[in-house]
Structure 1
Amino acid sequence: MSNPALAEAKPKAQPAIPNPMLIIAGIILITFTMRSPITSVGPLVGSIRTDLGLSNGMSGMLTTVPLLAFALLSPLAPSIGHRLGTERTLLAGLLTVLLGIILRSSGFIFTLFVGTAFIGAGIAICNVLLPGLVKQRFPQKAGLLTSVYTTTMSMCAAIASGVSIPLEKGANLGWQGSLAFWAIVVVIAISVWLPQLRSTGKSIASATQKSTPKKGLWRSALAWQVTLFMGLQSFLFYCTIAWLPAILQQHGISQTNSGWLLSLVQAISLPASFLAPVLASRFRDQRLMTVVIGLFSLLGCAGLLVDGNMFLLIICLVLLGLAQGASISLALTFIVIRTENVREAAELSGMSQSVGYLLAAFGPIFIGFVFDLTHSWSVPLVSLIIVSLLLIFAGLGAGRNQTV
């Protein structure tokens, strides 16, 4: 007969923690789903508008709705992650994105916008919680992994924009099938992420229970500087995505070539997006980096005011691409290195991305409004120059070697 005391002394079996490479694969696949469902819409807007009889204003909301969802849900994501565990919450985010893609592709106006809102909600959760996950799982390699996932995110955004029309026309899927295609990517991401639900011991949930965030994060000057850096770079990025082709057309560039030049900006952003977090992790502070990034953005916008010089125009686009690629990845890196624990990283991520995407949603509307008032791109470009200056000032605060 077995001894009850000995039986009680036996340690309970614990589920194995998934292999780190599987975690990295899961993170990278999640980043595949964080931009492609949004950037795949732009090239298809004309077909969607014609098929469903949408106005230009309603068509524009297809881009604005996800950004508003980001702004509204980002502050809530850390609390949800703390209660359910980050791994489960990220899975819930992926399932929400999948549901949104299915609804959006069903071919009705109501489901088009409801599905778009669901996609925004799911991506908001992933946006906020990934920096904390990286900080917990790979504290010594946070800069490198941030480089990998931000670069992957930017690359997938560019690919999704490029293949939307070939999927619609070349593969005869129509706009509905082209949008639904990205559900395949989400299903793959879910499949790879499922093993994370069995992880214990070093899970984010257990870590956040042991670490309480400092009270008054919204009253922290450093937290606001990180938040403003995130918001101002988002403002500049989405204004560029929305209006750069129209600005280039004012310089006499064709509609087709202006689209290719926008792709050039996105392509140039990729190496900058990868290198910025790696460099940031090697410096005591990142103030010099933020000054260089802000100056690149300022000079890029200022150069667009000059007409008739194609060489100068290309230089300006290169500067804009470098600034935008480096700024988004550095903003996400700040969330990791300006906090002391995983819970704080999630809270700062929610705060910075809430304000950031609210500014991003407001930016293209503001620039369009100013253009309608002035009938010229000069004042809108001056506005972007001013925002680039503000980015430098926010970066000088966010780049200090301190924690919130």
Structure 2
Amino acid sequence: MPAESSTTAVPSTAAEKSRTSTAPTRAAKVRARWLLALALAVAAFNLRPAVAALGPQLDHVRSTLHMNAGVAGLLTALPSLCFALVGFAAPRLARRLGPAITVCLGMGAITLGIAARSFAPGSAVFLLLSALALAGIAVSNVLMPVLVKRYFPDKIGPITGLYSMSLALGTSVAAAVAVPLTTALGGGWRVGLGVWALAGALALVLWLVQAAVLGRDGAGSTSSAATRIRISRSPTAWLLGVFFGLQATAAYATMGWLPQIFKDAGISATESGVLLAVTMAVGAPLAFVIPPLAARLPHQGPVAAALAACGLGAYAGLAFAPAAAPYAWALLLGVANCAFPLVLTMIGLRSRTSEGVAALSAFVQGVGYLISVPGPVLIGVLYQREHGWAGPLALLAGLMTVQLVLGLRAGRPRQIEDEV
């Protein structure tokens, strides 16, 4: 009997040791995922201040650097160009270095570009350093959905919502506090723009940690299925690319021209700025809600259609009664702009592998941002020619209608691997 009890006790002790040893491992994995989610959110916060903080201070930058109108026009078009052209290189970098290290490099480029351009002696240097920051943003833009697919395949909706909300917060906060912060710091536009490098530095530290933990995970891991992907042959990729371009056109037109529409309707410049802030702020909570909702649905088309309907309602209100209910039109436009987190969610859902998502994300954002380049410029040309907003708003409504149709088709449950 004693012998029997000793032999039965051994497996029990071993089982206890096994449970004890695996518990910290599981807890460590949970902590690691939370830290990665935090790093994603902080990185996303840094993907727009380089642009959003510049707009309200562009006049001061131009006068200080003696920047002519042509260079200023190039500066306003630079984000879309960099997001499109540099974004195409992101998957190749991720294959060579791993996505975590590549995002770490992106955060470094953002931090260095923002900090250094605040010391630029002339417009050419300012333009080049802005391009450096935008290149870091472009690479990170593309790899956000890739990291979600690789490390959170069971939570694509919630994690996409988390970083989309953080991106929206970074945009709205930078636009809203750029001028007051510059005034409070008392250092002119150089300090007002350079201070955003601090947020980039925080993201860089977090991603240095992630790069140390994850290393080259995912580098050179292109599967045979991913190797065969010819992304340009996928109808879904093209639908998403054009959809992305149209929603970006609407968003840039809103950011660039909405205050002018309200001012032309007799609303004060101060209140017009508040209305733009309302439009941008409403996207933050919705960006957190929409991706999880869309990810649970088998077909994301109805969500895309509902967002586009909000945009059409806003354009109608702005065309026929802009001063009657300006806050309603601003809110509707904010809801319509949530097509951005929706399309990011669809990118993550339309491929079975992180390599496929990388190829799809680069293609969709590259094509989309190229499509968006002429939109705000064309709106300005129509406004100048007609001295009114009927034509520009009719154009935006037409593009939003096309976006609605494309969203219904792009939202169908498809995998790019099955198409190509």
Supply the distance in 2 between the matched residues of 1:283 and 1:351 (Cα, whole angstroms).
24
| 1:393 aligned onto 2:418 | no
Question: What secondary structure sits across from 2:319 in the alignment?
Answer: coil
| Cα 1:169/1:309, change in 2 over 3 Å | closer
- Residue 88 of structure 2 aligns to a residue whose secondary structure is coil
Kindly indicate whether residue 355 of structure 2 is the aligned counterpart of residue 352 of structure 1.
Answer: no
| C-alpha deviation, 1:203, in angstroms | 2.7
Does the 8 A contact of 1:167 with 1:173 survive in 2?
no
Q: Does 1:281 align with 2:295?
A: yes
The answer to whether the aligner puts 1:28 opposite 2:53 as a matched pair is no
Q: CA deviation at 1:214?
A: 4.1
Question: What code does the residue aligned with 2:155 have?
Answer: K
The AA in structure 2 aligned to 1:399 is G
1:246 aligns with 2:246: no
- 1:16-95 maps to which residues of 2 (within 5 A)? 19-95=32-108
What is the DSSP-based 3-state SS (H/G/I as helix, E as strand, rest coil) of the residue aligned with 2:267?
A: coil
RMSD value, Cα: 1.8
Counterparts in 2 of 1:151 and 1:200: CA distance versus 1, 3 Å? closer
Does structure 1 residue 384 correspond to structure 2 residue 396? yes
Relative to structure 1, the CA distance from residue 333 to residue 202 in structure 2 (aligned partners, 3 Å threshold; closer, same or farther) is farther
Instruction: Give the letter aligned to residue 73 of structure 1.
Output: V
How many residue pairs get aligned? The number is: 387
Matched AA of 1:387: L
**Contact persistence 2:99–2:216 (CA under 8 A):** no
CA contact (8 A) 2:308 2:400 kept: yes
Tell me how far 1:209 sits from its aligned partner.
4.9
2:251 aligned partner, one-letter code: F
Question: In structure 1, what is the Cα distance between the partners aligned to 2:57 and 2:214?
Answer: 43
Q: Distance in 2 between matches of 1:183 and 1:350?
A: 26
8 Å CA contact retained: 2:164, 2:341: yes
1:110-149 aligned at under 5 Å gives the runs: 110-149=124-163
Deviation readout 1:336-361 (Å, 9 max, x if unpaired): 00111101101111011112112222
1:280-299 per-position Cα deviation (integer Å, ceiling 9, x unaligned)? 11211111111111111111
Where do 5+ consecutive residues of structure 1 fail to align?
Answer: 1-15
Q: Contact 1:36/1:182 (CA < 8 Å) preserved in 2?
A: yes
Contact 1:81 1:205 in 2 (8 A): yes
Structure-1 separation of matches of 2:323 and 2:167: 33
Change in Cα spacing, 1:116 to 1:213, as seen in structure 2 (3 Å) is same
Aligned partner of 1:11 in structure 2 is: none
1:265 matched to 2:275? The reply is no
SS of aligned partner of 1:139: coil
Distance 1:27 1:211, change over 3 A: farther
Structure 1 CA distance for aligned equivalents of residues 158 and 336 of structure 2:
19
Supply the distance in 2 between the matched residues of 1:307 and 1:265 (Cα, whole angstroms): 18
Cα pair 2:185 2:191 within 8 Å, conserved: no
1:234 Cα shift? 0.4
Give, in angstroms, the shift of residue 393 of structure 1. Answer: 1.2
Inter-partner Cα distance in structure 1 for 2:376 and 2:384: 12
State the Cα deviation string for residues 85-128 of structure 1 (Å, max 9, x = none).
11111111111112211331113222210111111111000000
Distance 1:200 1:259 in 2: 43
How far is the alpha carbon of 1:202 from its aligned partner? Answer: 9.6
Q: Using the alignment, how far apart are the partners of 1:88 and 1:210 within structure 2?
A: 23
Distance 1:339 1:213, change over 3 A: farther
Please tell me the residue identity of whatever aligns with 2:377.
I
Contact 1:214 1:344 in 2 (8 A): no
Q: 1:371 aligns with which of 360, 375, 383?
A: 383
Q: 1:332 aligns with which of 344, 354, 368?
A: 344
Deviations 1:297-334 (A, max 9, x none): 111112111136522x322221111111x201001001
What is the rounded CA distance, in whole Å, between the counterparts of 2:96 and 2:375 in structure 1? 34
C-alpha displacement at 1:24, in angstroms? 1.2
Contact 1:248/1:258 (8 A) holds in 2 = yes
CA–CA distance in 2 between the matches of 1:385 and 1:281? Answer: 27
Checking the alignment, whether the CA contact within 8 Å between 1:133 and 1:204 is kept in structure 2 is no
Looking at structure 2, the residues matched to 202 and 210 of structure 1 have their Cα atoms a distance apart, in angstroms, of 19
Moved more, 289-298 or 120-129: 289-298
Deviation at 1:206, TM superposition (A): 6.0
Which deviations, in whole Å up to 9, do the C-alpha atoms of 1:136-170 show, x marking residues without a partner? 10111110010010011011111111221122211
* Counterpart-to-counterpart distance in 2, 1:44 and 1:287: 39
Paired letter, 2:330: L
Seen in structure 2, the aligned counterparts of structure 1 residues 393 and 46 have a Cα distance that, compared at 3 Å, is: same
**In structure 1, distance between residues paired with 2:279 and 2:323:** 18
Q: Distance in 2 between matches of 1:229 and 1:260?
A: 29
Say whether 1:155 aligns with 2:166: no
Is residue 211–residue 342 contact of structure 1 (8 Å, CA) maintained in 2? Answer: no
2:25 corresponds to which residue? none
Q: Which secondary structure does the structure 1 equivalent of 2:388 belong to?
A: coil
Q: Percent identity?
A: 33
- Kept in 1, the 8 Å contact 2:100–2:215? The answer is no
Q: TM-score, normalised by structure 1?
A: 0.91
Shift of 1:255: 1.4
The answer on whether the counterparts of 1:267 and 1:321 sit within 8 Å (CA) in structure 2 is yes
- Structure-2 residue corresponding to 1:12: none
- Unaligned runs of 5+ residues in structure 2 are 1-27
Partners of 1:136 and 1:332 in 2: CA distance: 15
Residues 208 and 342, structure 1, Cα contact 8 Å, conserved in 2: no
CA contact (8 A) 1:103 1:111 kept: no
